[in-house]
Amino acid sequence: MPETPEIETDKLDEKIHEELEREGGSLLKAIALSTALFAAFAAVAALRAGSTVNEALVLKTEATRLQAEAADNWAAYQAKGIKSAVQQASESSWIALGKQPPSSFADERQRYAREQLAIERVAREKEAERDKKSAEADHLMHQHHRFANSVALFQVAIALGAVAALTRVRPV
């Protein structure tokens, strides 16, 4: 009997290692490629998440400005109403004294009423524009949350790819 085996184990061992390396190499290449793709998608989603939230904040700021302008208009509307009431009270005082009030009193009240209508129209327009901007901002915030969630999912996928690469577990 020969003391050494008839099969060359060195060559067999080398072939086994080559096969393992080749097999493991293709797995690592697949993991690396998918991880790179996930990272690219995550970067795009992160940029979109950032841009949508920024745009939503700008729109909410504009809505707040419009709300302040509408409130200012409503204050002016009320001031015109108070001026009209004061004018009417003055007119009533003249009538109570049995005197004819000056015609300018009625003219002033009519002017205040016209100004109130114009102010009311502007205030309602500001409120409508505010509502539109606020709704658009809410929609963008909804999109932002979707992009942010997708970034998180891509990060989980990248982490799972790293675990698979480290443990060299083939997908089922």
Q: What is the rounded CA–CA span in Å between residue 144 and residue 45?
A: 9
Tokens of 93: 């005082």
Alpha-carbon dihedral sign for residues 139, 143, 144, 146? positive
C-alpha distances (whole Å) from 96 to each of 4, 9, 90 are 136, 126, 10
Q: What is the pTM assigned to this prediction?
A: 0.70
pLDDT given for residue 6 in this prediction: 47
Asked if residue 2 is part of any domain, the answer here is: no
Asked if residue 109 is part of any domain, the answer here is: yes
Q: What is the rounded CA–CA span in Å between residue 131 and residue 64?
A: 10
Each residue of 36-90: pLDDT tens digit?
A: 899 999 999 999 999 999 999 999 999 999 999 999 999 999 999 999 999 999 9
Contact 102, 93 (CB under 8 A): no
* Residue 144 amino acid letter: H
Alpha-carbon dihedral sign for residues 59, 62, 68, 74? negative
pLDDT given for residue 44 in this prediction: 94
Asked if residue 45 is part of any domain, the answer here is: yes
Asked if residue 12 is part of any domain, the answer here is: no
Asked if residue 172 is part of any domain, the answer here is: no
Asked if residue 110 is part of any domain, the answer here is: yes
If one counts every other C-beta atom within 10 angstroms of the C-beta of residue 66, the result is: 20
Asked if residue 77 is part of any domain, the answer here is: yes
Domain with 64, as residue range(s), is 26-167
* Residue 156 amino acid letter: V
Contact 124, 37 (CB under 8 A): no
Each residue of 118-166: pLDDT tens digit?
A: 999 999 999 999 999 999 999 999 999 999 999 999 999 988 888 887 7
Asked if residue 142 is part of any domain, the answer here is: yes
Report the domain count for the chain. Answer: 1
